[in-house]
Amino acid sequence: MTLPTDPAANLAALIRCASVTPAEGGALGALATMLKPLGFSVERPVFSEDGTPDIENLYARRSGNGPHLMFAGHTDVVPVGDEASWTHPPFAAEVAKGEMFGRGAVDMKGGIACFIAAVARHVESKGGPKGSVSLLITGDEEGPAINGTIKLLEWAAARGEKWDASIVGEPTNPDALGDMIKIGRRGSLSGSIIVNGRQGHAAYPQLADNPVRGLMTLADALLHPVFDKGTKDFQATNLEVTSIDVGNPATNVIPAKATAIFNIRFNDTWTAETIQAEIHNRLDKAAKRKKYRTGKTTAVDYELVWRDRPSHVFLTRDDRLIEALSGSVKAVIGRKPALSTSGGTSDARFIKDYCPVVEFGLVGKTMHMVDERVALADLETLTQIYRRFIEDWFERGVS
Ligand SMILES: [Zn+2]
């Protein structure tokens, strides 16, 4: 039997499955076909929730005697956009000038293809790792992410699965393979501010209460002063006001209502709870300011509504895991990667509740773009890095 040792062949098989969220598109089936000859038991639980599409997921485990390493990722991909703008069709896996084109090439079917090739090479030459290896793959990362990684982790944990470490194969490298390992992520929170005023004639402001004045006062308090200057491991906390909406087409009418929405990315100076309290505090104080509202006797009448669930900040402090990975990068490409907590959130924020987690994958430059593509040379290099990492991590034993 031929084992899936060639990452390019693995990736081509995955790209040819049109698995735009929430469609499975055959991608999990293709994975199962690769994993079974390697000794993995494969399960494909489907999760449902009212108001969201049913999602198929995959959990595969190759059991051994020793520690348990989990590789996590997703086979769903974002839509292709304008298909006519692609140089090569998005689900054909065509290769040109040493690059394979296709949706998901780097985000993140490519990472999965390389990890499977790495395990396959280990199985072929050394009979496979001594401990257990599992793949936790969702079909719902790019979508609502409700029937994906969170439920898959709960499902596996309820069946007694325990992991000693996890690696997420998202494309973490900004420019070149080996640039960056992610060892944590900032937290994220979004909210809406609704200011209620009193409608009136722009020429008679004393008879009205312009909510735009109130909203400007509140927005100002969110932007200044800075929340912090950053920490040893994280960049500074940053808040962006992402929209201000009044919807008033008349220049001579003071509107009745104004709203703003904002997003804050916060570092480990804060928790979701303390940053929410800080924002409440700033707004309450600012609501009493007269700067833009001279002559008004009441405070700004506002409401703050938090949107979605907060993403919590985390930092992985597992030397064995981080050193095994960064050492493997150094051994294969000759330089040490930066250890970073930059960028947006990822499914690692859910995994961190179960075991230490780091992220390392391909180069992210073309992700979500037309002509998403990966250098075949990068597929081979990442496979070698993963292969070395698997060997190293199991050799180090559980600390
Ligand atoms: Zn991704």
3-state SS of the chain?
A: CCCCCCHHHHHHHHHCCCCECCCCCCHHHHHHHHHHHHCCEEECCEEEECCEEEEECEEEEECCCCCEEEEEEECCECCCCCHHHCCCCCCCCCEECCEEECCCCCCCHHHHHHHHHHHHHHHHHHCCCCCEEEEEEECCCCCCCCCCHHHHHHHHHHCCCCCCEEEECCCCECCCCCCEEECEECEEEEEEEEEECECEECCCHHHCECHHHHHHHHHHHHHCCCCCCCCCCCCCCEEEEEEEECCCCCCCEECCEEEEEEEEEECCCCCHHHHHHHHHHHHHHHCCCCCCCCCCCCCCEEEEEEEEEEECCEECCCHHHHHHHHHHHHHHHCCCCEEECCCCCCCHHHHCCCCCEEECCCECCCCCCCCCEEEHHHHHHHHHHHHHHHHHHHHHCCC
d(CA 76, CA 24): 7
* Ligand 1: centre distance to CA 51 (Å): 23
Of 164, 180, 171, 170, nearest in space to 321 by CA: 164
pLDDT at residue 399 above 60? no
Q: Which fold has domain 7-185+313-396?
A: Aminopeptidase (3.40.630)
Residues lining ion ligand 1 (Cβ < 5 A) are 107-108, 170
d(CA 148, CA 27): 15
Q: Which fold has domain 187-306?
A: Alpha-Beta Plaits (3.30.70)
* Average of per-residue pLDDT across 384-393: 97
What b/e sequence results for 244-254 when a residue is b if at least 16 CB atoms lie within 10 Å of its CB, and e otherwise?
A: eebeeeeeeeb
Backbone angles phi, psi at 188, to 5 degrees: -140, 140
* Binding residue positions for Zn(2+): 74, 107, 142, 170, 368
d(CA 239, CA 221): 11
pLDDT at residue 209 above 70? yes
**pLDDT at position 345, please?**
85
* Ligand 1: centre distance to CA 201 (Å): 51
Q: What is the mean pLDDT of the chain?
A: 96
In DSSP terms, which residues pair with 47 in a beta bridge?
55
* Ligand 1: centre distance to CA 372 (Å): 13
Name residue 212's amino acid.
V
Of 17, 31, 33, 19, nearest in space to 140 by CA: 19
**pLDDT at position 143, please?**
83
pLDDT tens for each residue of 279-308: 999 999 999 999 899 889 999 999 999 998
Of 183, 133, 173, 77, nearest in space to 382 by CA: 173
Largest CA distance in the chain: 84
* Binding residue positions: 74, 107, 142, 170, 368
Distance (Å) of CA 83 to CA 28, 80, 87, 239: 24, 6, 9, 35
Write down the domain spans for the chain.
7-185+313-396, 187-306
Cβ atoms within 10 Å, residue 26: 16
* Ligand 1: centre distance to CA 348 (Å): 11
Are the beta carbons of 258 and 214 closer than 8 angstroms? yes
User: pLDDT category, 99, cuts 50, 70, 90?
Assistant: very high
Name residue 325's amino acid.
L
Share of the chain above pLDDT 70, in %: 99
pLDDT tens for each residue of 63-96: 999 999 999 999 999 999 999 999 999 999 999 9
**pLDDT at position 398, please?**
56
pLDDT at residue 241 above 90? yes
CATH topology match: 7-185+313-396 vs 187-306? no
* Average of per-residue pLDDT across 86-115: 98
d(CA 320, CA 312): 24
pLDDT at residue 397 above 80? no
Which residues are the active-site residues? 76, 141
* Ligand 1: centre distance to CA 209 (Å): 46
pLDDT tens for each residue of 304-320: 999 988 999 999 999 99
**pLDDT at position 145, please?**
83
d(CA 132, CA 40): 10
Contacts of 175 (CB under 8 A, 6+ apart): 363, 365
Is beta strand 132-138 parallel, antiparallel or unpaired with respect to 68-74? parallel
**pLDDT at position 102, please?**
98
**pLDDT at position 126, please?**
95
**pLDDT at position 197, please?**
97
pLDDT tens for each residue of 115-161: 999 999 999 999 999 999 999 999 999 888 889 999 999 999 999 99
Of 362, 339, 356, 355, nearest in space to 234 by CA: 339
**pLDDT at position 257, please?**
97
**pLDDT at position 309, please?**
85
* Ligand 1: centre distance to CA 234 (Å): 22
* Ligand 1: centre distance to CA 281 (Å): 36
Of 192, 180, 177, 195, nearest in space to 293 by CA: 195
